[in-house]
Structure 1
Amino acid sequence: MNRSLPLVALLLWGPTNLFAQKRPDLKKLDAYIADAVVEFDQPGLAVGIVKDGALVWSNGYGRLDLARPEPVTANTIFYCASISKAFTACAVGLLVDEGKLQWTDLVREHMPEFATPLPFVTDQFMVKDLLCHRSGWDTFDGDLLWYGTDYDQREILARHAHEPMTLPFRDTFGYSNLMYIAAAQLIERVSGMTWDRFITTRIFAPLGMERSLVETADLAHMTNVALPHVRKGQNPDAPQKSMPYQPLRGADGACGVLSTVNDLARWDAMWADEGKVNGKPFLSEASYNTITTSHLAMGHEGAALGWFTEQRHGETVITHSGGMPGFILNHAVVPDRDLAVIALGNGESYSVFAITNKILDLYLGDGKADPVADMLPRLARRKEQEQERVAARAQARVPGTTPTAQADQLKGTYADKVYGRATITVEAGTPRLTFDPAKDLFTGALTHWHYDTWKWEHADPFLEPGYITFQFDTDHRITGFKVDLHSPDFHFHKLDFKTLP
């Protein structure tokens, strides 16, 4: 999942300056970042700068877990979320270099079961279409299929094939985690190795990324691991608390990589040197160029393969952020300057973007930009708008109403044609809604809100409560329900549960 998309309006780039500083004052930068950690209320942060193939500066700030004293360092492991997408694109590039497939191969040549709702799109879908967000699905379509569910990747993709497409194929941007899940399956089909094994043996090992991994279960044997921090129900006034890692195995390819600033410095150095390691090709020039070239224009940006491209101070920058409950992260590479910036955070803070911008301005601009000062007022206004939205919901509640269907009448099994089944049980007079594929995450009591709408206090510590409104036929028998759960990341509003016999 990439949660940086709503941030575009928050980012303010400085003007181009051809007389960029050659030797940034890193002591001042360190103080600037330390202040930013406080201003953004960032639990923990690791930052690194790669120049001319080496990690020339790095530091850690804050703590691994706010409930414990251990500090963040450049060797702290973070969940990298959508930063993983470039690893998936690189894996495909390595297979192209071996002659095992081509960027223009039709996906069904290697995965006959691959499908979309539109036969023409299914038949014309190329390998590179999986990686540049031009599939025809809207941004984040299908993400509920992997979030907290027990579906494997094949079932996720089979269900997603029934999700209607609302955008023109290859013409309009729609950020798709699901197509990267398909790419992970493609890698397995072509290489004979799972995505996990391929990334570990073909990328981590040769690049010397010794503390990088792809299994959250392996964290039990690791030290110096950053825990995700969330505010309960995305309430900006709630205290930040750490939470356990979510496995999310079904999302491999779209996310899955866990790494450190020290290890990502090796990874980004390869991209900054145009696909080379110690002067030798890791990726062919052709594959490197294909991956880092825009395949879909997006105003001043472009969607490359596992990366986005943009112009900054007259330089081409390839970049990708990452977001998952409790983590927001960012990195950017400037190949023509052999420069990369890494910023990893274990909270719901946008400090990583301000810090990336500051460092890029130090190296590419005049060094005078103050992204923290620029961003904080915008975030304050955004917080006000969210508070107004929540207050409006409470104000719209009509007191004194009673439901036309009582708790016992809500009991039963329901199904959404794409997502799957949900069950309502009644315990001690209180109805309880569970999404069957995500029994641990999406389960909780229903309390009457007004009319035939009930508030759903599910178990996910990240998302805010939902509101369930029941539907009826002419004879006032329950026919189903809709879900109103505000989230910029997951399309609850598209769920349409119907009663099953």
Structure 2
Amino acid sequence: MKKFLSLILLFGVTFNLYSQKIQVDLIEPFINQLMKDFEVTGLSIGIVKNDSIIYSKGYGTRKINENLPVNQNTIFGIGSISKSFTALTLGILVDEGKISWDDRVKDYLPYFELYDPYVSENFTIRDLLTHRSGLKEISGGTLWYHSELSRKDIIKKIKYLEPVSGFREKPAYQNIMYLVAGEIVSEVTGISWDEFLKNRIFDKLDMTNSTSISSVRESNKNLAFPHVWNENFKKIFVNQEKGDNLAPAGFIYSSSNEMINYMRMLLNDGVFKKDTIISKSTLKEIFKPQIIYPIQGSPFGNEFTSYGFGWWVTPRNNDKLIEHNGGIDGMHAKLFMIKNLNIGVIILTNISKEPAAFLLKAKLLEQIFEDKSLDFYETVKGYRDRRVNGAPKVRTKVNNTSPSVEINNYGGIYTDKMYGDISIKPLNRKELEISFSHSSIFKGKLEHWHFDTFKIDWYDIRVPDGYLTFNFNSNREILGISFEQGSLLDVDFSEINVLKKE
């Protein structure tokens, strides 16, 4: 029996060592091919293992058609990976005894209010971090996306968002609740969340170029610029929105080299260069499954995939995959760690809607787990080629129909009780113009489509064309408008109920 146990232990050690292989010599040729096949503008990658950097390099350019090479210190938007930093700032306050995970939000932010008074009164910090508010996915996106509203302004408006499920019944991914979490840090410490993040995390981890503040980001000389595809599948540069109002949920900028320090601290139980940033016990709570949330199927996720505080957590064989993705306009990032193997990887890119980071993650996990089922490359490339080369879907206009009223009569101020005012005014005898009061990106031309439906040609390329219908009562008076709007990053137009104001 003793011999048998020894063999089991030996096999376990052998397997563990074997499963930690990352073939560094194969990374560069794979990335070069990946960038060519998927037209990736710029990419930076960092890999840490056993508290040592085993790979850190940049590829491509920071801006299309310009000689601005990416390196390991180029800063990119990390998107929703920012949520893990917000959880960490709260964890530091837990360590200091200033808050507890199950404290009520209203005890810190009296103005915090949700649609249901009972939920408002009982909502906790743990609820903020685990996506179980009862709201629909990405709820409240119109409030912050390219918006001039402040963090506090946004929080005061979320009381109008109607839930689609019971409180704590099931998860639905959110951004605005992490914004609330950041404001709790500010309330408790007396300084902004951004300042606390810099003082207690960035400075201590030697993350000197990382920032959550747009003005600091834009002053960096080694900044990656965002790129998107237009309707003809041509890659173009766009200006990044400020994002300060949603920084705790999605607008930290960092580099692969500095994110390596972040992963080293997390993999080392909260310690970086002998300095304890957060206690092991609190970090364990952050990484602990809080709510079952199988967001993706096999092979990355499974029926036991869950969400911790700012992290997806998935058991895989005898390993624990801890990860998060991040996406903002023109940027896409992936971070994953296998804590018991002491491996962490950060991948940063400056192109939207390309699976480059996904495929690079899959290739590395294929090496680590020696699992060929993770090789999706040719399948994904084939799908992408068909999408690029296929004829765009064109919606046929219904001819020989007319608006119910004269064009001028559609003009006026419309309003949604959550968002605020939306202006519609005549451009000429056939066209109108729509503009949202708080969001400059939501401005476009309305062209008659059929009857009282107009096609929206948004001026900004990031917003796909949509349709707007004017709603009438039996007296042919305009009551309001409704939208049929295509997919847009973290924005759901169906949440707004727009009525005629004047």
TM, length-normalised to structure 2: 0.90
Counterparts in 2 of 1:22 and 1:306: CA distance versus 1, 3 Å: closer
Distance 1:37 1:464 in 2: 25
Distance 1:477 1:181 in 2: 40
- 1:381 Cα shift? 6.6
Give the match for residue 261 of structure 1: 256
Give the match for residue 135 of structure 2: 137
Structure showing greater relative contact order (alpha-carbon pairs closer than 8 Å, 6 or more residues apart): 1
Give the match for residue 403 of structure 2: 403
1:275-307, CA deviations, whole angstroms, 9 ceiling, x for partnerless residues? 221344321122101111111112321011011
1:411-449, CA deviations, whole angstroms, 9 ceiling, x for partnerless residues? 1100012111101122344321111111x2111221111
Distance 1:202 1:480 in 2: 49
Give the match for residue 484 of structure 1: 484
Give the match for residue 365 of structure 2: 360
Alpha carbons 2:161, 2:495 under 8 Å: kept: no
Letter in 2 for 1:435: F
Alpha carbons 1:54, 1:265 under 8 Å: kept: no
Paired residue for 1:315, among 299, 315, 319? 319
- Where do residues 57-72 of structure 1 align in structure 2 (5 Å cutoff)? 57-72=55-70
Distance 2:256 2:202 in 1: 14
Question: Does 2:326 align with 1:344?
Answer: no
Letter in 2 for 1:355: L
- Where do residues 181-200 of structure 1 align in structure 2 (5 Å cutoff)? 181-200=179-198
Determine helix, strand or coil for the equivalent of 1:102: coil
- Where do residues 307-456 of structure 1 align in structure 2 (5 Å cutoff)? 307-348=311-352, 349-365=354-370, 369-379=374-384, 390-391=393-394, 394-395=395-396, 397-429=397-429, 430-438=431-439, 440-456=440-456
Larger Rg: 2
Is 488-497 or 475-484 further displaced after alignment? Answer: 488-497
Alpha carbons 2:240, 2:329 under 8 Å: kept: no
Paired residue for 1:56, among 54, 57, 60? 54
Letter in 1 for 2:262: W
For the aligned residues, what is the CA RMSD?
Answer: 2.0
- 1:375 Cα shift? 2.9
Letter in 1 for 2:211: L
- Where do residues 115-154 of structure 1 align in structure 2 (5 Å cutoff)? 115-154=113-152
Alpha carbons 2:20, 2:341 under 8 Å: kept: no
Question: Does 2:307 align with 1:306?
Answer: no
Determine helix, strand or coil for the equivalent of 2:149: coil
Counterparts in 2 of 1:163 and 1:277: CA distance versus 1, 3 Å: same
Is 310-319 or 125-134 further displaced after alignment? Answer: 310-319
Paired residue for 1:165, among 159, 163, 166? 163
Alpha carbons 2:365, 2:374 under 8 Å: kept: no
- Where do residues 69-148 of structure 1 align in structure 2 (5 Å cutoff)? 69-148=67-146
Letter in 2 for 1:218: V
- 1:85 Cα shift? 0.4
Determine helix, strand or coil for the equivalent of 2:469: strand
Alpha carbons 2:217, 2:253 under 8 Å: kept: no
Give the match for residue 470 of structure 1: 470
Determine helix, strand or coil for the equivalent of 1:352: helix
Distance 1:366 1:90 in 2: 32
1:321-377, CA deviations, whole angstroms, 9 ceiling, x for partnerless residues? 001110111010111111101110100211101111211222233578533224334
1:130-183, CA deviations, whole angstroms, 9 ceiling, x for partnerless residues? 111111111101011000111111221121111111122222111010100101
Counterparts in 2 of 1:221 and 1:496: CA distance versus 1, 3 Å: same
Number of aligned pairs? Answer: 476
Alpha carbons 1:78, 1:258 under 8 Å: kept: yes
Is 337-346 or 479-488 further displaced after alignment? Answer: 479-488
Distance 1:22 1:272 in 2: 15
Give the match for residue 13 of structure 1: none
Percent identical among aligned pairs is 28
- 1:66 Cα shift? 0.9
1:79-137, CA deviations, whole angstroms, 9 ceiling, x for partnerless residues? 11111000000000001111111011111111111111112211211111111111111
Letter in 1 for 2:337: V
Distance 2:46 2:333 in 1: 12
Distance 1:382 1:318 in 2: 31
- 1:378 Cα shift? 4.7
Give the match for residue 281 of structure 2: 286
Give the match for residue 172 of structure 2: 174
- 1:249 Cα shift? 1.8
Alpha carbons 1:80, 1:255 under 8 Å: kept: yes
Letter in 2 for 1:277: F
Give the match for residue 214 of structure 1: 212
Is 368-377 or 304-313 further displaced after alignment? Answer: 368-377
Distance 1:383 1:473 in 2: 44
Distance 2:100 2:218 in 1: 39
Determine helix, strand or coil for the equivalent of 1:64: coil
Give the match for residue 28 of structure 2: 30
TM, length-normalised to structure 1: 0.91
Determine helix, strand or coil for the equivalent of 1:212: coil
Distance 1:410 1:208 in 2: 56
Is 41-50 or 397-406 further displaced after alignment? Answer: 397-406
Give the match for residue 497 of structure 2: 496
Letter in 2 for 1:473: N
Q: Which runs of 5+ in 1 are unaligned?
A: 1-16
Counterparts in 2 of 1:89 and 1:205: CA distance versus 1, 3 Å: same
- 1:380 Cα shift? 5.3
Give the match for residue 240 of structure 1: 235
Counterparts in 2 of 1:226 and 1:201: CA distance versus 1, 3 Å: same
1:201-257, CA deviations, whole angstroms, 9 ceiling, x for partnerless residues? 11100110011112222234321211000112xx3x421111111102211211121
Counterparts in 2 of 1:358 and 1:408: CA distance versus 1, 3 Å: same
Determine helix, strand or coil for the equivalent of 1:405: coil
- 1:499 Cα shift? 0.6
Distance 2:155 2:19 in 1: 48
Determine helix, strand or coil for the equivalent of 2:29: helix
Determine helix, strand or coil for the equivalent of 1:206: coil
Alpha carbons 1:20, 1:367 under 8 Å: kept: no
Is 63-72 or 273-282 further displaced after alignment? Answer: 273-282
Letter in 1 for 2:400: G
Is 457-466 or 135-144 further displaced after alignment? Answer: 457-466
Determine helix, strand or coil for the equivalent of 1:253: helix
Distance 2:437 2:83 in 1: 29
Letter in 2 for 1:487: S
Counterparts in 2 of 1:387 and 1:253: CA distance versus 1, 3 Å: farther
Distance 1:203 1:114 in 2: 27
Letter in 1 for 2:285: T
Is 370-379 or 124-133 further displaced after alignment? Answer: 370-379
Determine helix, strand or coil for the equivalent of 2:249: coil
Distance 1:171 1:338 in 2: 34
Letter in 1 for 2:450: H
